């Protein structure tokens, strides 16, 4: 299957700082990428849809000024958690779909811990 790479896999930061997570499609171009948040033992919660060259589409209840998404190229989308707080601690996962088949592939996920 297609490869989606996410970095970093783990990050610990102090409250009030910002953290950037990168999501790359390694062997295909992705005009659309998705960012999810997953709490322990829960399903994937869609945060936003990242569109190459345009603004991201955020789900209801997700603060766009807090979770900044940039999709500057067909292979890279970034999620920046700004002014992080302990309640932002979570597992963040990106995904991208193949345009020809529609199959969705996930990055490795990034576990964020805000102290």
Partner 1 sequence: GENVEQHPSTLSVQEGDSAVIKCTYSDSASNYFPWYKQELGKRPQLIIDIRSNVGEKKDQRIAVTLNKTAKHFSLHITETQPEDSAVYFCAATNTGNQFYFGTGTSLTVIP
Exposure string of 48-61, with b = 16+ CB inside 10 Å and e = fewer, is bbbebeeebebeee
Task: Decide whether 42 or 83 has the Cβ nearer to partner 1.
Answer: 42
Query: Which DSSP symbol is given to 78?
Result: E
CA atoms within 13 A on the CB side of 26: 11
Contact between 111 and partner 1 per CB under 8 A: yes
How far is residue 114 CA from its own chain's centroid?
A: 17
Sign of CA dihedral 8, 93, 59, 114: negative
Peptide bond into 2 cis (omega under 30): no
How near is the Cβ of 18 to partner 1 at its closest, in Å? Answer: 24
Contact between 29 and partner 1 per CB under 8 A: no
Candidates 11-19, 22-30, 75-83, 99-107 — which segment interacts with partner 1 by CB under 8 A?
99-107
Task: Decide whether 15 or 59 has the Cβ nearer to partner 1.
Answer: 59
Binding mask 32-71 for partner 1 (x = CB under 8 A): --x------xxxx-x--x----------------------
Contacts to partner 1 by CB under 8 A: 1, 34, 41-44, 46, 49, 91, 93, 95, 97, 99, 102-109, 111
């Amino acid at each position: 299957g297609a490869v989606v790479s996410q970095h970093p896999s783990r990050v610990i930061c102090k409250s009030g700082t910002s953290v950037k997570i990168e999501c790359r499609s390694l062997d295909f171009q992705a005009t659309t990428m998705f960012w999810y948040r997953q709490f322990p033992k829960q399903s994937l919660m869609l945060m936003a849809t990242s569109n190459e060259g345009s603004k991201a589409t955020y789900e209801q209840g997700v603060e766009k000024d807090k979770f900044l998404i940039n999709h500057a190229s067909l292979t890279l989308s970034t999620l920046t958690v700004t002014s992080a707080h302990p309640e932002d601690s979570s597992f963040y996962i990106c995904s991208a779909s193949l345009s020809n088949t529609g199959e969705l592939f996930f990055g490795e996920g990034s576990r964020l811990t805000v102290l």
